[in-house]
Structure 1
Amino acid sequence: MLILGIESATHQVGCALGGHEGVLASAHTARGRRHAETIVPQIRFVAHQARIELQDVGCVAVDLGPGLYTGLRVGISSAMAMAYALGVPMIGVSSLDLLAFAVRHTNRLIVAAIDARRQELFYAFYRQVPGGVQRVSPAEVGTPDDLASELLATSEEVLLVGDGAHRYREVFAQLQKIYIAELDLAHPSAASLVQLAHARALREEFVKPWELRPIYLRVPDADVNWKTRHSR
């Protein structure tokens, strides 16, 4: 089965195509908040690179978050529109799962951390398991100091991955046994999305487009700003 993956949880947008042969083509761009202008041309580019007709796609996978609200909304809406147009099922994957999967070969405890703005992070803990990673804590939202306190409570070596780890590097650099993954792994990967979705597709873990539930973890910035203005 061919899978189209769409990822847009951070300021980076990614698309990929693949299936049982692996990832056939992928592309990522970072153009500020221009997600809506980027996704459709990127899908066409990836399909051309893979020499695939979109009509041959059998499933659309999408990053459900947590992440930046506007990016998630655009990515999920675009993925749903593609699934409806093609008449195919969908698979949703957490952005934190995608970050952790990219460093699955480490023996260290993995912590995926996405910059949530407002001086906060979205994060979760993972361990390596055969073939991938397993989440061992619920996804949370907290300050860098909150996460640092949790890291201090563990005696294990930890691999931090994600743009949140780099944004607040100075907070974590002073901790012992804490390592930060390379900058090129700081954003969720559309290629990882296709790989994880393919494994779920083999188990027929599909959902209908209207069954998708974004993972926001907190109230969007726009709602907070609106309430702040009107409370004044």
Structure 2
Amino acid sequence: MLILGIDTATPQVSVAVGGHEGVLASTQSARGRQHTEILAPSIEFTCRQARIELAEVSVVAVDLGPGLFTGLRVGIAAAKAMAHALRVPMIGVTSLDLVAFPVRFTPRLIVATIDARRGELFHAFYRQVPGGMQRLTDYQVGTADDLASEIMASGEECLLVGDGALRYREVFEGMARVELVDEGLAYPSATSLVQLAHPRALREDFVQPWELAPLYLRKPDAEANWSTRNG
């Protein structure tokens, strides 16, 4: 079973291919918001590096968000089109789960964050459990100060990961018992996407392309601005 993972929820475009042997190849590229131009060549390059044909893919996994609206639309539309063309099922994973996944072995409380723009960030809390990690809260959007208050209220040692925490570093760096993960793990990756999707694929925990929907958490900027002007 080969899984193609596509992640375009943030400024980074990430593609990976893998299966029971692990991740065979992956690529990451960050060039502003040129998701449309980058994605197709990234998929082609990743398949070539993995020495597979696209027709060998049996599952398409995609990041559902939250994240950049344009990026999410590009990635999810491309993933759906590819799954439809290949006649294979899909798996969706949220970007906050993907951000938390690489640090799942820490005994500390994990706080995954993604820059939501407009002075806000997306976030969720996780904890290590046997065999992986467990999400403790809903996916949320709020200010850095709001998140800092939640962290303080938890009274626990915390590991903050993601570009949301780095964007508002000044809010969190002075907090006791809080550590920020460096920029190497700032974005969700297709490598984590393939790794998280694989056990679900083995359980046949699939969705059909028409059933898969993005997780936005709030209105797009253009829609919000229109609502404000016409309030």
Which residue number in structure 2 is paired with residue 172 of structure 1?
172
Question: How high is the sequence identity, in percent, across the aligned residues?
Answer: 68
TM-score by length of 1: 0.98
TM-score with structure 2 setting the length: 0.98
Question: Which residue does 2:114 correspond to in 1?
Answer: 114
- Distance in 2 between residues matched to 1:131 and 1:165, nearest whole Å: 26
Matched, 1:45 2:45: yes
In 1, the alpha carbon distance for the partners of 2:24 and 2:93 equals: 19
Deviation at 1:227, TM superposition (A): 2.6
2:192 is aligned to: 192
Q: Which residue of 1 aligns with 2:130?
A: 130
**DSSP 3-state at the match of 1:27:** strand
The aligned amino acid for 1:194 is V
Q: Choose 88-97 or 126-135, whichever is displaced more.
A: 126-135
**Structure 1 position 124, deviation (Å):** 0.2
C-alpha separation in 1, matches of 2:130 and 2:26: 25
Q: Distance in 2 between matches of 1:206 and 1:90?
A: 6
- Which consecutive aligned stretches of 4+ in structure 1 deviate over 3 angstroms post-superposition? 228-231
> Alpha-carbon deviations, 1:83-109, whole Å to 9, x = none?
011000000001000011011111110
Distance 1:217 1:228 in 2: 18
Partner of 1:217: 217
Q: Secondary structure at the match of 2:100?
A: helix
Task: Report 1:1-232 matches (<5 A).
Answer: 1-231=1-231
* Distance across 1 between alignment mates of 2:229 and 2:70: 20
Q: Distance in 2 between matches of 1:156 and 1:227?
A: 40
Post-superposition shift, 1:174? Answer: 1.5
Paired amino acid for 1:40: A
* Alpha-carbon separation, structure 1, partners of 2:156 and 2:103: 16
* One-letter amino acid matched to 1:197: A
Secondary structure in 1 matching 2:175: coil
Cα separation, 2, equivalents of 1:107 and 1:50: 34
List gaps (5 residues or longer) in structure 1: none
The alignment yields a C-alpha RMSD, in angstroms, of 0.8
Aligned AA for 1:215? L
Which sections of structure 2, spanning at least 5 residues, go unmatched? none
Count of aligned residue pairs for this structure pair: 231
Letter in 1 for 2:138: P
**Offset at 1:156?**
1.0
